[in-house]
Amino acid sequence: MRVREKEDIDFLHECFNDIDFWGEYNHPAYEQISKSTLINSFDNPSDFQKLIEYKLFVIEKKDGTRIGIMWHMINQPSEEMEIACFLVPSERGKGYATEATQLMVDYLFFNRNIVRIQVHTNVENKAAQKALEKAGFRKEGTVRKHAQLVRGVWSDFYLYSILREEWKEPKILTKTA
């Protein structure tokens, strides 16, 4: 997993405009978006993106094939760090989300002075819940009518989190200094 680069534009453009990429349990994060808008947002992040410290990462296989994205952002005004993971449909169910989540948790707890990392996931999204639990997250509760899905239905989400003290040791990264 690595921070996104301008060379990822074609991949991101394809993913963001594909409703299947967002999955049936999520609201697509964007309306149809042009390549030029994407390029512009790289050079000029919005004030809101700066405020929430939004950072986008690309998930790659060892051979360099791009298979998904992960982002982190601050949930204002609480300062909670929220992450989310999305894989292209053909690469789901192979353990990549669990690994990418563990990697992001290691990275954030090593690099940021934060006490928790959280994820909202649709109550129906069993794959996401399993991946989160395998990565050490615990379910905190239900957030009722948290988000409106594609066809306009308001949907309940679970709030998952991992606390720094529950992250007993890094799963993937190693501390060098």
Ligand X SMILES: CC(C)(COP(=O)(O)OP(=O)(O)OC[C@H]1O[C@@H](n2cnc3c(N)ncnc32)[C@H](O)[C@@H]1OP(=O)(O)O)[C@@H](O)C(=O)NCCC(=O)NCCS
CB of 48: closest distance to ligand X in angstroms? 21
CA dist 148 and 159 (Å) reads 16
CB of 122: closest distance to ligand X in angstroms? 7
Looking at the Cβ atoms of 6 and 145, the one nearer to ligand X is 145
Tell me how crowded residue 130 is: count the other CB atoms within 10 A of its CB: 12
Closest CA to 135 of 49, 66, 70: 70
CB of 43: closest distance to ligand X in angstroms? 27
CB of 163: closest distance to ligand X in angstroms? 19
Q: Is 61 left (phi over 0), alpha (psi -120 to 50) or beta?
A: beta
Looking at the Cβ atoms of 47 and 95, the one nearer to ligand X is 95
Looking at the Cβ atoms of 6 and 126, the one nearer to ligand X is 126
Looking at the Cβ atoms of 12 and 85, the one nearer to ligand X is 85
Which residues here bind ligand X, judged by CB under 6 A? 23, 25-26, 84-87, 92-98, 119, 121, 125-128, 130-131
Closest CA to 56 of 23, 19, 29: 29
> Strand, coil or helix: what is 147?
strand
| End-to-end Cα spacing for the chain | 21
Closest CA to 69 of 124, 113, 26: 26
Looking at the Cβ atoms of 44 and 88, the one nearer to ligand X is 88
* Ordered DSSP codes for 96-117: HHHHHHHHHHHHHHHHS--SEE
CB of 27: closest distance to ligand X in angstroms? 10
